Structure 1
């Protein structure tokens, strides 16, 4: 059996007045990740309902691709403390159409 795809998904919160700056600080990382080998998608976005929440979604071809990216990702310096964090890594056994 081949490598299983990986999803890293969840959210974290920061002070509402700092949220947009935090999201913007990830712009370069997002662009680089989307061009990285094995990255199928990556998004770090402001939540439209909760002014303190930032949503995180990553989709990788394999854990190896994710690990290789993590080794060179060079994330932005933390510009605001995370108040709450709920992010999990999911290793896919199967997937298919959503409907």
Structure 2
């Protein structure tokens, strides 16, 4: 079953862009990792303190392997709050059907 990890984290507004840029190395490496369908860490266009996280993995096994090999962010910025959740997906399909 595929795995999604998604949700917002909140940092100080002045630190948000550095947070996103500091995680670029993770995004680049994950997108090259076998079994990663997508990974994005991006600034929210509405809330100045919000960063949106999205990960889409082929399986729990692939995610576990990624976590064992993943690089560290290039900056350490405290997360004030977050609502990131992991979802195990039993079925997927065309969103317009």
TM-score clears 0.5: yes
Residue 14 (structure 1) aligns with: 11
1:90 and 2:87 correspond: yes
- 1:76 corresponds to which residue? 73
Aligned residue number for residue 25 of structure 1: 22
Deviation per CA, 1:43-99: give whole Å up to 9, x if none. Answer: 000000000000000000000000000011122155221011111110001111112
* Unmatched runs of 5 consecutive residues or more in structure 1: none
Structure 1 residue 45 corresponds to structure 2 residue 37: no
The alignment status of 1:61 with 2:43, answered yes or no, reads: no
TM-score, scaled relative to structure 2: 0.94
Instruction: Give the deviation of 1:20 after TM superposition.
Output: 0.1
Structure 1 vs Structure 2 CA RMSD: 1.0
Runs of 4+ more than 6 Å apart: none
Unaligned runs of 5+ in 2: none
How many residue pairs were aligned?
A: 96
